[in-house]
């Protein structure tokens, strides 16, 4: 283990190198824009501040809370009714245990902001701001959005906690540009973003997306689109990602159901970091999650992402996730379906897979969980890809490589994560929840 002085010098050298690499202004931007150049530089500074020099401390903090949550299956919550048919509250992972068994969740929506774990744990979204209720599912004006619409809400100034008056289907006419310090909270309604543009977080900080359904997203032609209260930008054609994170930090995507989009379900690229993707349910898609878009973009060395308690379900083919350069903690997910491979990467990412359940397809050619691109075995043998306490079923194999990832524990955080046999319980309520006001979720 490096001494404090030596480690500090190594980290400073890395950050100094990365600090001069400002994310490029492609990503749908149609022309040079001084406002977005400034936003890019500001976002990059926040990304560097959000980077954790010793990521193992974060992974082990999450491991500790997973273990703790399985020991204390919220007896208080089990005594309370969960829903309209009187089932007990079944919450068993540390994120859900923080809020789900509280029948008054609708009166204390902000509590969710205290429940994040992993690399995106600092995302508090609209905490401290007012609640804004979406009452109108239309999306007609990209430049001056109509008050009451989701597009109007996500482009307002300052922190905002966005909820929905009722269940609704929103078909976005163009990609939705979400500004900093926002929470999109779909609890208590069936909110579907579908048959239109997807959600984009570009050069922003501190966003929570929770409890919505995103499906059948298609490319859009672009044009003038408002991306904040004080800026309208010219956008090129969007790719059709369900959720796109570009040069953004402190992002938490939780309890979202995603399926069938033209490009990726969740793409995180261009120096984004401090991100948690948790409790999501993904189905019917090819390229599920892309973390880092190009082997040549070294700014992604600061990328740190937690993927925890998700269910990778029916109709998925590959990229769960597909990683480049950064550090990726893949913890207690349920992989019940894939057609090609589950976890892939290139350009030497560090991948720590812990306590996942991998059920391989019946195809003998697709039993291997891992897939490495653009490198010979002589090169990738040094990439740190580690499997710890994973449950491998139906002939699944995990091809480990590189030196062991050091397990650095803070005092008191010495418990191991739960092994893969507990995954069905930890992920039982993945995806958007059916929450009713006055009852635990």
Q: Which residues are catalytic?
A: 319
> Which residues are paired to 330 by β-bridges?
307, 353
CA dist 29 and 246 (Å) reads 12
Tell me, what DSSP letter sits at residue 293? S
- Torsion sign (Cα): 426, 427, 431, 437: negative
For residues 393 and 360, is the Cβ–Cβ distance under 8 A? yes
For residues 228 and 182, is the Cβ–Cβ distance under 8 A? no
Other CB atoms closer than 10 Å to residue 71's CB: what's the count? 9
- Helix, coil or strand: residue 212: coil
Token duo for residue 223: 């044009």
Produce one character per residue of 398-415: b if its CB has 16 or more CB atoms within 10 Å, e if not: beeeeeebeeeeeeebeb
> Which residues are paired to 280 by β-bridges?
none
Residues 6 or more apart whose Cβ sits within 8 Å of residue 407: 56, 60
- Helix, coil or strand: residue 44: helix
With residue 66 as reference, give the H or E element that holds it. helix 55-71
Distances in Å between the Cα of 267 and the Cα atoms of 199, 354, 374 are 11, 22, 20
Q: How far apart are the first and last CA of the chain?
A: 44
Other CB atoms closer than 10 Å to residue 12's CB: what's the count? 11
For residues 265 and 290, is the Cβ–Cβ distance under 8 A? no
> Which residues are paired to 343 by β-bridges?
370
Residues 6 or more apart whose Cβ sits within 8 Å of residue 259: 214, 215, 216, 265, 282, 283, 284, 285, 315
Q: What are phi and psi of 257, to 5 degrees?
A: -100, 130
- Secondary structure of the chain: what % helix, strand, coil (to 5)? 20, 30, 50
Token duo for residue 200: 């984009």
Q: What are phi and psi of 368, to 5 degrees?
A: -75, 130
Other CB atoms closer than 10 Å to residue 345's CB: what's the count? 28
């Amino acid at each position: 283990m490096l001494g404090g002085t030596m480690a500090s010098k190594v980290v400073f050298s890395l950050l100094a190198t990365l600090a001069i690499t400002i994310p490029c202004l492609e990503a749908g931007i149609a022309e040079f824009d001084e406002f977005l150049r400034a936003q890019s530089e500001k976002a990059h500074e926040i990304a560097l501040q959000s980077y954790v020099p010793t990521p193992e401390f974060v992974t082990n903090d999450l491991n500790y809370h997973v273990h703790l949550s399985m020991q204390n299956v919220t007896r208080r919550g089990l005594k309370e009714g969960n829903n309209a048919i009187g089932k007990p509250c079944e919450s068993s992972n540390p994120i859900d245990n923080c809020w789900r068994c509280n029948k008054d969740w609708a009166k204390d929506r902000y509590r969710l902001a205290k429940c994040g774990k992993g690399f995106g744990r600092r995302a508090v979204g609209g905490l401290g701001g007012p609640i804004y209720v979406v009452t109108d599912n239309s999306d007609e004006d990209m430049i001056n959005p109509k008050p009451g619409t989701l597009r109007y809400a996500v482009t307002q100034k300052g922190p905002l906690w966005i909820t929905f008056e009722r269940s609704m289907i929103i078909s976005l006419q163009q990609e939705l540009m979400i500004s900093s310090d926002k929470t999109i909270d779909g609890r208590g309604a069936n909110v579907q973003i579908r048959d239109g543009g997807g959600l984009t977080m570009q050069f922003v900080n501190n966003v929570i997306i929770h409890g919505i359904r995103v499906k059948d997203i298609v490319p859009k032609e672009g044009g003038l689109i408002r991306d904040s209260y004080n800026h309208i930008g010219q956008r090129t054609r969007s790719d059709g990602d369900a959720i796109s994170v570009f040069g953004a930090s402190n992002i938490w995507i939780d309890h979202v159901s995603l399926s069938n989009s033209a490009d990726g379900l969740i793409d995180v690229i261009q120096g984004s970091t401090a991100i948690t993707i948790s409790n999501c349910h993904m189905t019917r898609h090819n390229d599920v999650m892309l973390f880092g878009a190009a082997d040549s973009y070294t700014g992604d060395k600061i990328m740190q992402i937690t993927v925890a308690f998700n269910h990778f379900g029916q109709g998925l083919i590959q990229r769960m996730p597909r990683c480049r350069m950064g550090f990726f903690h893949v913890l207690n997910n349920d992989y019940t379906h894939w057609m090609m491979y589950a976890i892939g990467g290139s350009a030497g990412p560090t991948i720590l897979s812990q306590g996942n359940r991998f059920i391989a397809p019946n195809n003998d050619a697709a039993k291997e969980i891992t897939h490495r691109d653009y490198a010979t075995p002589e090169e990738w043998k040094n990439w740190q890809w580690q499997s710890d306490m994973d449950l491998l079923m139906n002939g699944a194999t995990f091809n480990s490589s590189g030196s062991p990832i050091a397990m650095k524990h803070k005092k008191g955080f010495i418990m191991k994560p739960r092994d893969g046999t507990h995954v069905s319980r930890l992920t039982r309520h993945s995806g958007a929840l059916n929450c009713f006001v006055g009852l635990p979720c």
